[in-house]
Amino acid sequence: MSSSTPVWPAGHDRRVLAEVDSTNAEAARIAATLAGPTWILALRQTAGRGRRGRAWNDPPGNFAATLAIPSGAAPAQAALRSFVAALALADALTQATARPEAISLKWPNDVLLNGAKVAGILLETTGQGGTPGPLAIGIGVNLSHAPDPGTLEPEAKAPTSVLSATGAAIDPESFLDLLAPAFARWEATLRQHGFAPLRRAFLDRAARFGEPITARTLRETLTGTFTDIDETGALVLTTAKGPVAVQAADIFF
């Protein structure tokens, strides 16, 4: 890891918990008490969640944290925080491993190391009746341990860990010291310049860009060439019937 640790972002709090069920659940519980953006880090998470309610395994030594943002954002704007988180993870992992060429971003919410899944992102909001509520941005990183592939869904991306893939050993609190400033930088870029620079940066690191992939939504399965990400953050596939924008899907290579 680089010997120069970035400065903790101004106006952001941090809470380190020895154990919690889920950092996203904890964020929802304490949202009303927060004065500003707060990172919640669990040294042990007993009921971690991934997308669509899937379990997320968190053995000790791995990273499980949530950035709780008390002020709400419109759903479309909140969804762009997935790109903020992915780019921040790429920067933090680059600092931790000095292996930028090994890191790629799998739309919409996974980070790959040497082509295997090393991190995932889960966005949740508690807004009701069209009113934006607090936003929880959950992030899990396999720092020391990768889950047993036999415990995953049959088509799930093969997992890896930072330690096994690169030999870099970093503890969760030190990784948060890298991630929080990186997130704040990309968040400032989004607020000041809009989504366009994040879109370009994501495409520069996007896994399988320009190649055939399959997108499975709740309603259909689409196969086409990954040709773009549009201004809303949707994946654009060029299919036999022309370009198709995919707002949410599981992606398979």
Residues 216-241, mean pLDDT to the nearest whole number:
95
Under the banding of pLDDT at 50, 70 and 90, the label for residue 144 is very high
Q: Which residue has the tokens 């970035």?
A: 6
Residues 75-85, mean pLDDT to the nearest whole number:
90
Q: What is the pLDDT of residue 131?
A: 62
Q: Which residues pair with 112 in a beta bridge?
A: 104, 117
**Euclidean distance between CA atoms 252 and 176, whole angstroms:** 29
Q: Cis omega before residue 108 (within 30°)?
A: yes
Nearest to 237 by CA among 131, 111, 132, 107: 107
Q: What is the pLDDT of residue 132?
A: 66
Under the banding of pLDDT at 50, 70 and 90, the label for residue 160 is very high
SS3 245: strand
Residues 191-207, mean pLDDT to the nearest whole number:
97
Instruction: Return the ∠ at Cα 69 (arms to 85 and 204), rounded to 5°.
Output: 15
Q: Which domains does the chain have, with CATH numbers?
A: 13-205 (3.30.930.10), 212-252 (2.30.30)
Q: What is the pLDDT of residue 148?
A: 74
**Euclidean distance between CA atoms 79 and 83, whole angstroms:** 8
What's the pTM value of the predicted model, to 2 decimals?
A: 0.92
Residues 226-247, mean pLDDT to the nearest whole number:
96
156 pLDDT more than 80:
no
**Euclidean distance between CA atoms 84 and 182, whole angstroms:** 9
150 pLDDT more than 90:
no
Span of 70-74, 89-93, 139-143, 248-252 with lowest mean pLDDT: 70-74
